[in-house]
Amino acid sequence: MSKDYTFNPGDFVVYPAHGVGQVTEIQQTAVAGQNLELIAINFTKDKMMLRIPLASAQKSGLRQVATPAVMDTAIHTLKGKAKIKRAQWSKRSQEYATKINSGDPIAVAEVLRDLYKNPAIAEQTYSERQIYEQAMGRFVSEYAIVNKMDESEAAVQLESILQNKATSMKTEA
């Protein structure tokens, strides 16, 4: 994971609770008599603007978009065998939410890998589907930026990877 905490206007960044956004500006603002340097991040998909003090960017989990090497590791994780724990769904769903909100593409790939069910074979419960879609949304946006492609194209590629994995695992069994 990139440990570079310098941000410039135009950079794509990942904020764990919201996913991928774009830095629009670094601004000086006076708050309670103190000058603060704020990073303004636009999340186009959510139609939201977030301002984070530069001094607390690292603590908040804000980071540069993953490198291609990290994304390759995440894709390798995605292609792996699902590791579903035998814990109750409520505990597992909390673990999945924690992984999604960590902002780590490898952790999000683990959620996708574990929750993917081929629609032609099995159905997901409503809550499984909700968590899966949240994880897919976060992963797709970062995957698209890293691979310089449209999000819809990225979503098709990722669904294809998951479907091929499910098909190859079925033939191995």
- 149 with 99, same domain: the answer is yes
- 76 with 54, same domain: the answer is no
Give pTM, 2 decimals. Answer: 0.85
Q: What is the mean pLDDT of residues 48-64?
A: 89
pLDDT tens, 79-124?
998 887 788 999 999 999 999 999 899 999 999 999 998 666 677 8
Three-class SS state of 40: strand
CA distances from 147 to 15, 65, 103, 134, 142 (A): 19, 11, 18, 20, 9
CATH number at residue 155: 1.20.58.1290
Three-class SS state of 52: strand
Closest alpha carbon to 40 in 48, 31, 49: 49
- 77 with 146, same domain: the answer is yes
DSSP assignment string, 96-137: HHHHHHH--HHHHHHHHHHH---TTT----HHHHHHHHHHHH
Residue 33 burial (CB count, 10 A): 5
- Answer yes or no: is pLDDT of 32 > 70: yes
Residue 1 falls inside a structural domain: no
Select from 64, 82, 102 the last residue of a domain. 64
Residue 44 falls inside a structural domain: yes
CATH number at residue 36: 2.40.10.170
Residue 5 falls inside a structural domain: no
- 158 with 87, same domain: the answer is yes
Dihedral sign for Cα 25, 16, 2, 154, please.
negative
pLDDT on residue 5 = 61
- Written as one letter, the residue type at 36 is L
Give the separation between CA 106 and CA 163, rounded to whole angstroms: 19
What is the extent of the structural domain holding 25? 12-64
Beta bridge partners of 52: 39
Sheet (strand 63-64) strand order: 48-53, 34-43, 19-31, 12-15, 63-64
pLDDT on residue 46 = 81
- 73 with 58, same domain: the answer is no
The more confident residue out of 82 and 41 is 41
Mean pLDDT of the chain: 88
Q: What is the mean pLDDT of residues 39-63?
A: 89
Helix (H) or strand (E) holding 49: strand 48-53
Helix (H) or strand (E) holding 58: helix 57-60
Tokens 């570079």 belong to residue: 4
